[in-house]
Chains A and B, each alone.
Chain A
Amino acid sequence: MAVLRVENLTLEIPGRRLLDNISFDLERGESIAIMGPSGAGKTSLINCVCGIVKPTSGRIWLVDSEVTLQTASKRAASRLANVGYVFQFGELLPEISVLENVALPLKLRGVPWDDAERRAAHQLETVGLANRGRDNPDVLSGGEVQRVAVSRAMVTEPALILADEPTGALDEENSSRVCDLIFSLATTFGAAVVVGTHNPEVASRAHRSVILRDGRIDARARIGLPS
């Protein structure tokens, strides 16, 4: 059954069409890389998928529910329940510790305090940052920040991982490490992955790649790669 189904998705702002009639499905455990030049609509597509932006037309199903019919608060609830988001710059909250940052989505879900921190600690362990849990994010390096961000996205074991240029601000070594983490961790609990990237290396890890040009999927550039 499809975790994500996008059907005829169109997004417009005054004077411009950012996404034009986009359609694709994503099964559990499957991954797709959205490639394309800047301004092609990669971030807009990811924002529509997770419900941050409401599309102008078209339909999106996430797990069992149609996101496009939901109110903003329902979309937020759906995002919390089903999506893990990895941002380009980590977007950790510096007021709370690394461990608390990772535990935050669990606590937002109402998971008991101790349980949330235990699971967050375990998640940090899997990304090699078990000893940084009590630190504040502002003492971490860029690569570490992004690994914590991956942990935060994975800790709830969501059905869908969205990653918007997750390696855009990292060097090659860290880029590779973060990429490995995203795809390997997602595989462990069978999450589907949508990754927006410029980087062909990152895209090559996904089962499928599509290229966006001017808001449309470039039909000539559909690439289907086996896992």
Chain B
Amino acid sequence: MIVRLAFRLATSRSPEHRWRQLAVPLASSISVILVLFGSGLLAANRRQEERLLERTPILAEVPSDADVLLQPRADVVNGDQYLTIWLAAPLEGNPPVPPGLPRLPTPGEAFVSPRLAQVLAEDVDFARRYPLWTQIGSDGLVASDELIAYVGLPRDRVNERTHHIVAFGRPSGSQRGLVLGLSDLPRSSQMVTGVVIFAFLPGLILLYLGASANSVLRDHRFQVLTWLGAPRGTLVKVAVAEVLSLAAPGVALGLVTWLALAPKVGPMPFVWMDPLKGDLVLPWWVALLDSVAILAITSTLAAAGPLAIGRRPDLRPRPSLGRARLQDYRLYPLGIAALILLARPWVSEARADGLLVAAMVLMLVGVPLVAPLVVRQVGVHLAHIHTVPTLLAGSRLGWDPIRNARPHIAAATLVALTLTVLGYQKLTNAEIRSGHAPPVALVTVNINVATADEIGQLASELRPAVVAVFREDANRWIVGANCQEISRHIAGMGCDQNSPADFDSTGELRMSQALGLPSQLDLVLAPDLRLGTEWHEHTGSESATHEHAPSDLSQTSHFHDGLLVIDSTTSPADLEQSVGTLTTTALPGSSVLGVSRFRRYYPPSWSWTVAGLAMAAAVLTLGTILPIMDRLTSTRAQRRHLLKIGVTERRLRFLEALLFGIPFAAVIGVGVTAGITSCWLLVSQAHPPGPMPWASIVAVLMAATIPGTAASLAVALGIVGSSTSGQAE
């Protein structure tokens, strides 16, 4: 009978229960999708790691002619870095082949990822780099959006940095391998943290909101059972059976939806994760386990409700309300966040990003906790205004600020999240702008082997650009050009009046900035520097230069030579593109890096923050609707009481508008404060710090306040509100 009682309660046609009948299945459905999505991300990450491992080139212990020679390089197309893997076939034997390739590429031939193939098909200039290309199979890709090319390399175009490869696959035992990927995949622990915080947690919040959806009918049933002396176990059984009757269909719907969607999900821009289609698919038992876990959590959350009924003063046979207590712990998250922010100047740069994320998360957690405190203060002040509605509204807000703040907390958190995302976007855009639009069109070319003729040919094809050899060692950056040549292309760069080949006092700094060199590296001009030659700095009148043949580069491993190309007559992107196209065909094994290599590195936590904020924002949008509806359904009895004591409908509407609008404004204010603070913290991270996105902030504020204001007005005008016509059963 307990189950029957619960089932009939769950399926009651009473209007008092209708909201719960909608909220529980909806919340459980979305929650299970979120949890399955999170589990799917973990599965996708694991599959990506496995594919990355499976294409690992295994280094030869002893080089031989049977080895494949491999040279990984980073190149750039349209501002995006991509991985070029130059491969030279062995002189003898059957060569190992990377997964996804039918064979090794011959010189001049390329196997490219689908995303790169798309670029080749769309970009005529870029297509000149790889006139002969074939698409890599999906088993050779880590991610669907991956930019990677395996390119054939003539065996005579290798240098000492070329790797000897005996196989492709998972390294075993003492084998050593190379990781073939431009950016590291998130570590499993990072993935788990991200998924827990940004997929599982929002799912659970939503689940909690759904499972605790208000139902006067349900409260009454548990009240009666409690009066009759029903044991706790019975109350819990009824509660669990009732919520399961409602949640199970929702979970089933969510599960079916996920099973239908998961195989079709590919790249996800917010997560910056590009799984292949099918990567998110979970084994059936994991999906089932997740669904069962959601049902178990829903049951646990629901079971707590009836047990608390005995402690709820308003549900005793004769209510004896008490002023709600607000504990000090509500201030802890904001307090800790403030301490973290105060401590930031003394924290190392490596830890600063993590601490900033922690502070922002704490601030967001602090919003719902602090909001009731603010509502109580506002209520106390409102009660001092001498009109009946303000007295009643202010007193009620001061008496029970938690219940009055609750409907707006999700909206406030949403506002705070949105403003945080705005700040993050501002930071990212600032960084990307600074990366894409440098003041100087300048690229560097890493080369394996080149003759003076080939460099001369390149210089003539790139004219009027300056093409100079550069050398990088531990302390210096040496450029084989004179100041006058370079200064024609770098605005504001001055040369020494007495010795025009050298910088003046500002010249070195200006060029270092253009190259994005760290301040600890010295920049030296050496017009006589040649590729692969030893060079000693002039000291007084003495100088010594010993030339080697270019092919002797392999003997000089203590420094690294490349080409520097500067051209003020074209844009950085065009220069990058044209140099890349020329060198890919003319200097096999080379790679071109523009200023994009100086882009700031973002730890994975940042991408997860954006992903999580977007996810949480979407979830909390629903979370906003749930409690507002809850609030409206729970005020019917109060309306009846006030009408009975002679409060007019008009005053009642004004009172309800105050009870809706005032906490809304107060709680949203808390969210806005937290959000603007987060936004400011992020914007101040940019180098140089950018302006606050005030226009966007105002837009968010308007988007946030208009629905609340409209709702308050609608309540005041009697367009929406709690009906007093229905009677509790």
Interface residues of A (CB under 8 A from B): 13-14, 18, 43-44, 46-47, 50, 52-53, 72-73, 76-81, 83, 85, 87, 91, 93-96, 100, 103-105, 107-108, 113, 138, 152, 164
- Interface segment out of the listed B183-191, B225-233, B365-373, B511-519: B225-233
Q: A47-B317, A79-B227, A138-B729 are in contact. List 19 more A-B contacts (CB 8 A).
A: A43-B317, A47-B318, A72-B311, A73-B232, A76-B226, A76-B230, A77-B231, A78-B229, A80-B231, A83-B229, A87-B227, A94-B12, A95-B4, A103-B1, A104-B228, A105-B229, A108-B225, A108-B229, A152-B228
Interface string of B286-327 (1 = CB under 8 A from A): 000000000000000000000000110000111010110000
B554 to chain A minimum Cβ distance, whole angstroms, is 82
Q: Is B560 an interface residue (CB 8 A)?
A: no
In the complex, the chain A residue whose C-beta lies closest to that of B226 is A76
A79 touches B229 (CB 8 A): yes
Question: Given A52-B226, A80-B231, does the pair A72, B318 have CB atoms closer than 8 Å?
Answer: no
A52 touches B317 (CB 8 A): yes
Q: Is B429 an interface residue (CB 8 A)?
A: no
Q: List 7 A-B contacts (CB under 8 A).
A: A43-B317, A50-B227, A78-B229, A80-B231, A95-B9, A103-B1, A138-B729
B226 to chain A minimum Cβ distance, whole angstroms, is 7
Cα A18 to Cα B12 with chains together (Å): 38
For A72, give its contact among B8, B221, B223, B310 (CB under 8 Å).
B310
For B229, give its contact among A80, A87, A95 (CB under 8 Å).
A80
For B5, give its contact among A13, A72, A95, A138 (CB under 8 Å).
A95
Name which of A76, A100, A164 has the most chain B CB atoms within 10 A of its CB: A76
A96 touches B318 (CB 8 A): no
Q: Is B556 an interface residue (CB 8 A)?
A: no
A145 to chain B minimum Cβ distance, whole angstroms, is 12
Contacts of A50 in B (CB 8 A): 227
Among all A-B residue pairs, the 5 with the closest Cβ atoms = A80-B229, A79-B229, A95-B8, A43-B318, A91-B224
A87 touches B317 (CB 8 A): yes
B231 touches A96 (CB 8 A): no
B239 to chain A minimum Cβ distance, whole angstroms, is 14
Contacts of A104 in B (CB 8 A): 1, 228
B9 to chain A minimum Cβ distance, whole angstroms, is 5
Q: Is the interface of A mostly helix, strand, loop or mixed?
A: helix
A76 touches B729 (CB 8 A): no
Interface string of B1-33 (1 = CB under 8 A from A): 110110011001000000000000000000000
Name which of B223, B230, B316 has the most chain A CB atoms within 10 A of its CB: B230
Interface string of B203-223 (1 = CB under 8 A from A): 000000000000000001101
A105 touches B316 (CB 8 A): no
B18 to chain A minimum Cβ distance, whole angstroms, is 15
Contacts of B318 in A (CB 8 A): 43-44, 47
In the complex, the chain B residue whose C-beta lies closest to that of A11 is B320
A76 touches B224 (CB 8 A): no
Name which of A18, A44, A50, A94 has the most chain B CB atoms within 10 A of its CB: A94
Question: Given A44-B318, A52-B317, does the pair A100, B1 have CB atoms closer than 8 Å?
Answer: yes
Contacts of A96 in B (CB 8 A): 1, 4-5, 8
Q: Is B234 an interface residue (CB 8 A)?
A: yes
Cα A164 to Cα B317 with chains together (Å): 10
Contacts of B223 in A (CB 8 A): 91
B4 touches A85 (CB 8 A): no
Interface residues of B (CB under 8 A from A): 1-2, 4-5, 8-9, 12, 220-221, 223-232, 234, 310-311, 316-318, 320, 322-323, 729
Cα A68 to Cα B231 with chains together (Å): 18
B502 to chain A minimum Cβ distance, whole angstroms, is 86
Cα A107 to Cα B228 with chains together (Å): 12
Cα A113 to Cα B234 with chains together (Å): 15
Contacts of B220 in A (CB 8 A): 91
A204 to chain B minimum Cβ distance, whole angstroms, is 25
Cα A218 to Cα B513 with chains together (Å): 95
Cα A77 to Cα B231 with chains together (Å): 6
Question: Given A80-B230, A95-B12, A164-B317, does the pair A13, B224 have CB atoms closer than 8 Å?
Answer: no
Question: Given A13-B320, A52-B317, A87-B317, does the pair A93, B229 have CB atoms closer than 8 Å?
Answer: no
Contacts of A107 in B (CB 8 A): 1-2
Cα A47 to Cα B316 with chains together (Å): 9
Cα A52 to Cα B221 with chains together (Å): 15
In the complex, the chain B residue whose C-beta lies closest to that of A18 is B320
In the complex, the chain B residue whose C-beta lies closest to that of A117 is B1
Contacts of A53 in B (CB 8 A): 316
In the complex, the chain B residue whose C-beta lies closest to that of A46 is B317
In the complex, the chain B residue whose C-beta lies closest to that of A80 is B229
Cα A86 to Cα B699 with chains together (Å): 59
Contacts of B229 in A (CB 8 A): 76-81, 83, 105, 108
Cα A50 to Cα B323 with chains together (Å): 25
Contacts of A113 in B (CB 8 A): 1
Name which of B9, B220, B225, B227 has the most chain A CB atoms within 10 A of its CB: B227
Cα A27 to Cα B226 with chains together (Å): 26
B267 to chain A minimum Cβ distance, whole angstroms, is 50
Contacts of B225 in A (CB 8 A): 108
Cα A110 to Cα B282 with chains together (Å): 44
B231 touches A108 (CB 8 A): yes
Cα A192 to Cα B230 with chains together (Å): 21
For A105, give its contact among B4, B228, B311 (CB under 8 Å).
B228
Cα A14 to Cα B313 with chains together (Å): 13
A94 touches B317 (CB 8 A): no
Cα A18 to Cα B226 with chains together (Å): 22
B228 touches A108 (CB 8 A): yes
Cα A13 to Cα B322 with chains together (Å): 8
For B322, give its contact among A14, A72, A73 (CB under 8 Å).
A14
B726 to chain A minimum Cβ distance, whole angstroms, is 14
In the complex, the chain A residue whose C-beta lies closest to that of B2 is A107
B479 to chain A minimum Cβ distance, whole angstroms, is 82
Cα A103 to Cα B4 with chains together (Å): 14
Cα A167 to Cα B317 with chains together (Å): 16
Contacts of A108 in B (CB 8 A): 225, 228-231, 234
Contacts of A73 in B (CB 8 A): 231-232
In the complex, the chain A residue whose C-beta lies closest to that of B9 is A95
B4 to chain A minimum Cβ distance, whole angstroms, is 7
Contacts of B8 in A (CB 8 A): 95-96
Cα A91 to Cα B316 with chains together (Å): 13
Contacts of B234 in A (CB 8 A): 108
Contacts of A138 in B (CB 8 A): 729
A76 touches B316 (CB 8 A): no
Cα A146 to Cα B148 with chains together (Å): 80
Name which of B1, B221, B234 has the most chain A CB atoms within 10 A of its CB: B1
Cα A50 to Cα B229 with chains together (Å): 9
Cα A93 to Cα B322 with chains together (Å): 28
In the complex, the chain B residue whose C-beta lies closest to that of A116 is B1
In the complex, the chain B residue whose C-beta lies closest to that of A76 is B229
A152 to chain B minimum Cβ distance, whole angstroms, is 8
Name which of A13, A46, A108 has the most chain B CB atoms within 10 A of its CB: A108
A153 to chain B minimum Cβ distance, whole angstroms, is 9
Contacts of A47 in B (CB 8 A): 316-318
Contacts of A79 in B (CB 8 A): 227-229
Contacts of B317 in A (CB 8 A): 43, 46-47, 52, 87, 164
